[in-house]
Amino acid sequence: MTPPDLPPMPSQDTLDALVRIVGEPHAIRDADSMTPYLVEWRDRYHGKAALVLKPGTTEEVSAILKRANETRTAIVPQGGNTGLVGGQIPFETGHEVVVGMSRLNRVRDIDLGGNTITVEAGVVLANAQAIAASAGRLLPLSLPSEGSCQIGGVLATNAGGLNVLAYGSARDLALGLEVVLADGSVWNGLKALRKDNTGYDLRDLFIGSEGTLGIITAAVLRLFPKPAETVTAFAGLDRLEQAPAFFSRIYERAGQALTAFEIMPRLGLQFVLRHAAPARDPLASPHAWYVLFELSSPRPGEEMKQLAETLLAEGLEAKEIGDAVLASSLTQAQELWRLRELMSEVQKHEGGSIKHDVSVPVAWVPELITRANDLVELMIPGARPVPFGHFGDGNIHYNVSQPPSMDRTIFLSHWEALNAAVHEIVLDLGGSISAEHGIGRLKRDLLPHAKQPLELELMRRIKAAFDLNGILNPGKLL
């Protein structure tokens, strides 16, 4: 990618002043200790930083940004560092200051009557889920990275995950935000309202802005009744073309009770069986594709189980699916989910993997995968597509593992060309080149191909209105 115009190295005076704001124990100056903040999960980016700061309050975040704005110091906000597009990692110049949010980890309020929870940005998602659960509520946002990612990070990336089908993405769950702006002023938008039509929605601008418009310090999130009955089913399909009909059958009858509908290919399941013991094939004979779906209800009883049995029987009868199993215990349900949740990780053991995070209208998913698979075979013969993910949202992680005998580096050198070709199909089908992971650094240069010039111009004007000096995560997203 073309290197961005980054602000220059901050002076020693500026760095010392920034350290004084958080206190010496909460600042990291030494290169080795900074390492965990400078590399990410996929090991794709290795950044450098002038300093890592770990503020403990909104006031400290405000003081940091005020000083940074006055001195034109570039700031990289960082949550749990699980982002998959490099947005949380500074560039290699070493001029930027990383602001880690993990110490802003208080739960400020939980309102059971209003069904909301107010949490600070550094609260780990799984902790927020657990606190909601212990109060008898569901915080439905759920991602495989939930043990590390933070509320600020999931909002800044508008994360999706496994339950979007019924509950929406992070954006749909946030009612209000508290945000520190580039000049240090604090916007208190911590409203807990379902309805508020008072002009432009500032909250929605910050959600998905990937740290380029402000630093989120707290949020009011929606809570839901905790499911009392949940059933998990696993079905084998011989042709992916059957999946839209099977999905429609379930969605029409279950409606909001359908809380997940995921797909994975046989090869993905084989990777899990090969690399993630103990795991076993839930069905007696192999199928080309698998669907994992879940029905949930806040009512105790067997209503969901009966509905799932009926739908599976109808799906078999209509030959939409070839075989199926319904989890008979929580352990079995967890075993089925584990097959899906490991889908990404196990690909690491099969050499290089070229990734895409794309979405198309649900009915076009089989067309997308067929066309992309043909293209892969043409461009890199022997490469092994492992498309999986959130079928019900039309969101597919179109990952391609290298041919077993190919050199990893040579395979990965096809990354950009393959991305460009697959994205062309996606755009042709009316889809998006980033369904849930964002743009960050990885896809920044792809954005002009996917957005209209007018859209980009409006985005640049918004950026300039919020961050005139360009100190917030420069070179990311735009």
From the list 137-145, 229-237, 271-279, 286-294, the region that binds ligand FAD by CB under 6 A is: 137-145
Query: What Rg, from alpha-carbon coordinates, does the chain have?
Result: 23
Place of tokens 């950009």: 416
- Comparing CB distances to ligand FAD, the nearer of 217 and 242 is 217
What is the β-pairing status of strands 97-100 and 107-111?
unpaired
Q: Does 437 bind ligand FAD (CB under 6 A)?
A: yes
Binding mask 46-85 for ligand FAD (x = CB under 6 A): ------------------------------xxxxxxxxx-
**Shortest spacing between CB 34 and ligand FAD, in angstroms:** 15
172 burial type by CB count under 10 A (0-12 exposed, 13-18 middle, 19+ buried): middle
Identify whether the C-beta of residue 401 lies closer than 8 Å to the C-beta of residue 383. yes
- Among 126-134, 196-204, 209-217, 269-277, the segment contacting ligand FAD (CB under 6 A): 209-217
Give the interface segment with ligand FAD, choosing from 263-271, 287-295, 317-325, 433-441 (CB under 6 A). Answer: 433-441
* Residue 143 within binding range of ligand FAD, rule CB under 6 A: yes
Distance of CA 146 to the CA centre of its chain: 10
Minimum CB–partner distance for residue 160 and ligand FAD (Å): 4
Report how far residue 377's alpha carbon sits from residue 1's, in angstroms, rounded to the nearest whole number: 26
Count of residues engaged in binding ligand FAD, rule: CB under 6 A: 37
**Helix (H, G, I), strand (E, B), or coil: what is residue 293?**
strand
Is residue 41 close enough to count as binding ligand FAD by CB under 6 A? yes
Give Cα 134 distance to the centre of its chain: 25
Kindly tell me which of 261 and 287 has the beta carbon lying closer to ligand FAD: 261
Phi then psi for 139, rounded to 5 degrees? Answer: -100, 105
Please list, in sequence order, all residues whose beta carbon lies within 8 angstroms of the beta carbon of residue 337, skipping any fewer than 6 positions away: 232, 292
166 binds ligand FAD (CB under 6 A): no
Show contacts with ligand FAD in window 321-380 (CB under 6 A): 344
Q: 171 vs 305, which CB is nearer to ligand FAD?
A: 171
Nearest partner of 393 among 209, 287, 263, 205, judged by Cα? 263
- Please report whether residue 434 would count as binding ligand FAD according to CB under 6 A: no
Q: Which residue is nearest to ligand FAD (CB)?
A: 153
Q: Nearest Cα to 218, choosing from 305, 108, 53, 307? A: 108
> Would you tell me the crossing angle of helices 58-71 and 12-22 to the nearest 10 degrees?
170
For residue 399, state whether it binds ligand FAD (rule: CB under 6 A): no
At residue 371, the 3 state secondary structure works out as: helix
We find the least distance from the C-beta atom of residue 101 to ligand FAD, in angstroms, to be 5
Selected range binding ligand FAD among 13-21, 159-167, 318-326, 329-337, rule: CB under 6 A: 159-167
Give residues 179-198 in contact with ligand FAD (rule: CB under 6 A). Answer: none
Residue at 4: amino acid letter: P
Residue selected from 87, 236, 265, 282 as contacting ligand FAD according to rule CB under 6 A: 87
If the CB atoms of residues 101 and 471 are measured against ligand FAD, the closer one turns out to be 101
Minimum CB distance to ligand FAD smaller for 21 or for 311: 21
C-beta of 75: minimal distance to ligand FAD in Å? 9
- DSSP strands (E only) in 70-136: 75-78, 97-100, 107-111, 116-120
Q: How far is the CB of 155 from ligand FAD (least distance, A)?
A: 7
The single residue among 62, 73, 157, 399 that binds ligand FAD, judged by CB under 6 A, is 157
The token pair at 211 is 């740290």
Per CB under 6 A, the list member of 7, 55, 140, 153 interacting with ligand FAD is 153
User: What amino acid occupies position 16?
Assistant: D
What is d(CA 209, CA 77) in angstroms, rounded to the nearest whole number?
11
For residues 331 and 228, what is the distance between their CA atoms, to the nearest angstrom? Answer: 16
Decide whether 307 or 426 has the Cβ nearer to ligand FAD.
426
Task: Report, in Å, the least distance between residue 255 CB and ligand FAD.
Answer: 23
- Is 96:74 a contact under the CB 8 Å cutoff? yes
- Within 10 A of 415 (CB to CB), how many other CB atoms are there? 16
Residues interacting with ligand FAD, by CB under 6 A? 41, 76-84, 87-88, 101, 121, 143-145, 149-150, 152-154, 156-157, 159-161, 210-211, 215-216, 344, 436-437, 440, 473, 476
